[in-house]
Amino acid sequence: METISFFLVYLLVFSILRTATAVDTLFPSQSIKDGETLVSADGNFELGFFSPTVSSTSRFLGIWYKKVSNGTVVWVSNRETPISDNKGVLLFSNHGILSLLNSTNSTVWSSNTSKAAQEPVAHLLNSGNLVVKDGKDKNPAEDNLWQSFDYPCDTFLPGMKIGKNLVTGFEWFLSSWKSIDDPAPGQYFVRINISGYPQLVIEKGSKIVYRGGSWNGLHFTGMKANAIFPVKLEFKLNENEVYYTSEPKNSSVVTRTMLNPSGFGQILIWSDKLRDWESLSTSNLDQCSNYALCGAYATCNGNDFPGVCSCLEGFTPKLVGKWNSGVWYDGCVRRTPLVCNKRDSYHKHTGLKLPDTSHSKVNKTMNIKECRQLCLSDCSCTAYTNSDIREGGSGCLLWFGDLLDMRDDWGQDGQDLYIRLAASEIANIARKRQSTEKERVAIIVGSVIIGMGMLILPVLCIRWRKRNKKGLTKKNHTMDSDEKENEEMELPLFTFGTIANATNNFSVDNLLGKGGFGPVYKGTLEEGQEIAVKRLSKNSGQGLKEFKNEVILIAKLQHRNLVKLLGCCIQGDEKLLIYEYMANKSLDYFIFDQTRSKLLDWSKRVNIIGGIARGLLYLHQDSRLRIIHRDLKSGNILLDNAMNPKISDFGLARTFWGEQTEAKTNRLVGTYGYMSPEYAIDGVFSMKSDVFSFGVLVLEIVSGKKNRGFSHPDHEHNLLGHAWRLWTEKRPMELIDDALGDFRLPSEVLRCIHVGLLCVQQRPEDRPNMSSVILMLGSESALPQPKQPGFFTERNLPEAESSTSNCKSSSANECTVTLLEPR
């Protein structure tokens, strides 16, 4: 008894002592050794020594989150000078200089001060900023002798600055890590480029690779306003300094912006629900994010794959052949040269990401009329607009020379731009516009005369919409707002009759397969368009209105690696979804077939892996809906003519069972062989369960073998177990599909296996999220060692498996199970 109570008292005292040592201040008499830390007063941030990965022995002094996302590093001092043992120590060397010493007492890093301090102290503030002050200073709050916020690494925290002191030349900028396990400065920087009107850019060396754009009073012109909703941005521009800084609108919201080693910027917000960072926006949204992809005088449209680039009105491709083959960087040239007199005029474009302002000038007091005059008076001025969009617009921003790096799919987030054209071109545009008006009237009249009612109208509706997208009106932004609304909101409704006709009355001959939510039929519309029709099973338990709303939401999910929803049909009990038809069936049709698998060489397979990853990232992070697929498998990866992968059946789990408020379900949907352990056993799902399924897919694509049903003479492991075994025995190359023949790219294949194994690790928290997966696939940096995968053998599958009697064992991989109360 006594020993036990003594032990309890000891524990109590020990924990009190431990709490007492959680201090936020370092005095000159003290030091921080490896293993000791400073903790900010609110407990949000911690400073101490860390290694970037478990396997790494390098020690760095840094600051990381403590309360949320424990261990996510936000700042590193000795980025380029790691300490090789755990004998590092941080202390004040003299007069307020912080020094980091290694075991031989050599300084591997030190801070700097503007002046010597009498009584220096270092505080780790609640913002994550490490500041050095002079205790003697009368006004210490304002006088930091040094602060870590002046030397950001790859993470931009609220309160930091990015910009430049124009007097001293001191610059605040982000620099990427070299790789996820090496915090040394990498190739990429986020900075404010001050040539012309200052703009936020990501640079690789001195080359711009991405342009966040210039400040328009509310946000950066190259960023969508909704992407930054949780933070209040402030932009300062005067003769002394130019910078931007941010603060959270709600102090209980944790956000950070980071530049990853591949040069992608991401705005992240901590989700308590998911216990993970969610990406609010990323700089590599799509192809159009690449700086000046379309060259001069052209706009980029991320929705128009593979069209992407179009010349501005009044311009024509510089090199037509190259342009038409999809090489756009030469851009466009004027159809009619400027005469450079008062007869030049301006064509107004709306909804644009404004062009590069490297060669621009600004006058903040001018109005738009004066702006136009000023531009007209200078032959080299090519465009103008308001510099500030608040309160109806003010200020004047003028461009000189070529207009670069615009996009026209920004919608509400885009801006107006007046582009200079020769007078004859302006007249041309007006003529064209008139003739499109006529065409539109003709179509409407036509449909009335045909008058065959519901059967025909929906088809016309599609045709009309298509014409609108691709036709002459594309660059004509004078469409009235009602019509725009319609175009955005409306999902084509097909009549049941139309679809019954198209699918030969849902004939067995037209059956393409049976998916998780009902059979899928091939169909051909009267106008010849091929479609795939999913006839949903009837027990969705959802009201009609909710269903329709949900389908409209899904229809808005548009990504080149997602199958496109063309429309739907609701009639009585029947709910049909109409998709684009994929000529090349699904991935399983190829990779698991001896002959057909030869058609998928390595470059196709790696393209498929990358495409699936990007589609999934879009579902998880980049779309507004944040969808967990829950049934990712080879049968749900469809292939188009060019063997590009498109994920299907996304959003259906959500449609059927509503948005789950908690990450636990008592209705299990998924496919054995692809289900993560925590999902199959406990019904707990998260983005990490999709990551698990993705990992299984990657290993299947590399090996050409099914996870479930895999057998090997030497052991009873499934494919994951087999891959793991080969990995630990250092012969992973034996996993590779024989069908790939001699043509091999060893390092890349190996990387895919490595990433696949990281994705199927037992514990969800060990698995990377999809943005890291894309990063890992795309870079050559070292990766962490994978731990043992979940579901190693068939035997540790849950008991409930036996209740899926409706699955034929031969096609177990394809069969989707629906279990009630798995426990």
What are the E-state strand segments in 596-703? 637-639, 645-647, 667-670
Question: What is the Cβ-side half-sphere exposure of residue 34, based on CA atoms within 13 angstroms?
Answer: 16
Of 130-138, 357-365, 505-513, 519-527: span binding ligand NAG (CB under 6 A):
357-365
Least separation in angstroms between CB 391 and ligand NAG: 18
Residues recorded for the chain:
823
150 is catalytic: no
* Least Cβ distance, residue 135 to ligand NAG (angstroms): 20
- Count other Cβ atoms within 10 Å, centred on residue 10: 10
CA–CA distance, 86 with 58 (Å, rounded to integer):
9
| Tokens 């329709």, residue located | 548
User: Distances in Å between the alpha carbon of 109 and those of 33, 61, 82, 91, 104?
Assistant: 15, 9, 10, 11, 14
Q: Which of 94, 195, 666, 803 binds ligand NAG (CB under 6 A)?
A: 195
Q: Figure out which of the listed residues 57, 86, 114, 373 binds ligand NAG, where binding follows CB under 6 A.
A: 114
Q: Is 373 in the site for ligand NAG (CB under 6 A)?
A: no
Element (H, E) at 750: helix 746-759
Element (H, E) at 725: helix 719-728
**Nearest CB to ligand NAG, comparing residues 182 and 405:** 405
From 150-158, 205-213, 259-267, 477-485, give the range in contact with ligand NAG by CB under 6 A: 205-213
Q: Between 364 and 744, whose beta carbon lies closer to ligand NAG?
A: 364
Place of tokens 């709306």: 350
Residue by residue, DSSP assigns 219-282 as: SBTTS-GGGGTTEEEEEEESSSEEEEEEEESSTT--EEEEE-TTS-EEEEEEETTTTEEEEEEE
Enumerate residues 6+ apart whose C-beta is below 8 A from 50.
59, 60, 62, 64, 71, 73
Q: Which of 131, 157, 258, 366 binds ligand NAG (CB under 6 A)?
A: 366
Integer Cα distance of 463 and 469 in angstroms: 10
Q: Shortest distance, CB of residue 319 to ligand NAG, whole angstroms?
A: 23
Cβ at position 803, least distance to ligand NAG in Å? 38
Residues 222-251 that bind ligand NAG (CB under 6 A): 250
Interface stretch with ligand NAG, choices 192-200, 623-631, 651-659, 753-761 (CB under 6 A): 192-200
634-693: contacts with ligand NAG (CB under 6 A): none
Q: Which amino acid is at 34?
A: D
Residue 86 or 728: the one with the smaller Cβ distance to ligand NAG is 86
Q: With CB under 6 A as the contact rule, which of the stretches 26-34, 103-111, 408-416, 474-482 interacts with ligand NAG? A: 103-111
Nearer to ligand NAG, 106 or 728 (CB): 106
Amino acid found at 801: E
Our CB check for ligand NAG shows the closer of 363 and 447 to be: 363
Distance in Å, CB of 64 to ligand NAG, minimum: 7
- Residue with smaller CB distance to ligand NAG, 52 or 523: 52
Rounded to a whole number of angstroms, the minimum distance from the CB of residue 467 to ligand NAG is: 40
The answer to whether the beta carbons of residues 211 and 197 sit under 8 Å apart is no
- Each residue 73-92 as x (binds ligand NAG by CB under 6 A) or -, in order, gives --------x--x--------
What are residue 316's phi and psi, to 5 degrees?
Answer: -145, 150
Interaction of residue 108 with ligand NAG, rule CB under 6 A = yes
Q: How far is the CB of 365 from ligand NAG (least distance, A)?
A: 5
Distance CA 581, CA 343 (A): 51
* Stretch of 134-142, 358-366, 625-633, 728-736 lying at the interface with ligand NAG (CB under 6 A): 358-366
Among the listed residues 395, 397, 399, 398, the one whose alpha carbon sits nearest the alpha carbon of residue 365: 395
Residue 169 or 713: which CB sits closer to ligand NAG? 169
Segment interacting with ligand NAG (CB under 6 A) among 311-319, 328-336, 359-367, 633-641: 359-367
Q: Which of 516, 459, 534 is nearest to 632 (CA)?
A: 516
> Residue 238 corresponds to which tokens in the numbers above?
């005067």
Nearest-10 crossing angle of helices 457-470, 423-450: 170
- Say whether residue 200 binds ligand NAG (CB under 6 A): no
Residues from 16 through 75 that contact ligand NAG (CB under 6 A): 70-71
Selecting among 344, 631, 649, 690, the annotated active-site residue is: 631
**Among residues 5 and 252, whose Cβ is nearest to ligand NAG?**
252
Q: In the beta sheet, which residues pair with residue 383?
A: 399, 419
Which one of residues 78, 193, 636, 676 is an interface residue with ligand NAG (CB under 6 A)?
193
Among residues 72, 316, 363, 762, which is the contact residue for ligand NAG, using CB under 6 A? 363
252 is a site residue for ligand NAG (CB under 6 A): yes
Among 42, 119, 247, 370, binds ligand NAG (CB under 6 A): 370
The closest alpha carbon to 767, from 648, 701, 664, 686, belongs to 686
Between residue 737 and residue 796, which ones bind ligand NAG under the rule CB under 6 A?
none
Interface with ligand NAG (CB under 6 A), residue from 3, 19, 29, 206: 206
793 and 707 Cβ atoms separated by less than 8 Å: no
Instruction: Name the minimum Å distance from CB 128 to ligand NAG.
Output: 15
Nearer to ligand NAG, 291 or 589 (CB): 291
Min dist. Cβ of residue 111 to ligand NAG (A): 9
Residues 6 or more apart whose CB falls under 8 angstroms from that of 261 comprise 154, 176, 177, 178, 179, 180, 186, 188, 775, 779, 781
The span from the CA of 543 to the CA of 656, in Å, is 10
Q: Which amino acid is at 223?
A: M
Cβ distance to ligand NAG smaller for residue 188 or 710: 188
Least distance (Å) between residue 59 CB and ligand NAG: 10
- DSSP state for residue 745 in the 8-state scheme: -
Total binding residues toward ligand NAG, as defined by CB under 6 A: 26
The whole-angstrom separation of Cα 213 and Cα 210 is 9
Nearer to ligand NAG, 358 or 769 (CB): 358
When binding is defined by CB under 6 A, the residue of 155, 214, 282, 358 that contacts ligand NAG is: 358
Say how far apart CA 38 and CA 32 lie, in whole Å: 8
| Dihedral angle sign, alpha carbons of residues 294, 296, 298, 302 | positive
Pick the binder of ligand NAG from 106, 240, 373, 660 (CB under 6 A): 106
Nearest approach in angstroms of CB 275 to ligand NAG is 12
The SS3 of residue 820 is strand
Is 382 buried (19+), middle (13-18) or exposed (0-12) by CB count in 10 A?
Answer: buried
105 counts as binding ligand NAG under rule CB under 6 A: yes
Q: How far is the CB of 358 from ligand NAG (least distance, A)?
A: 5
Contacts with ligand NAG, residue ranges (CB under 6 A): 70-71, 81, 84, 102-106, 108, 112, 114, 193-195, 206-208, 250, 252-253, 358, 363, 365-366, 370
Active site residues: 631
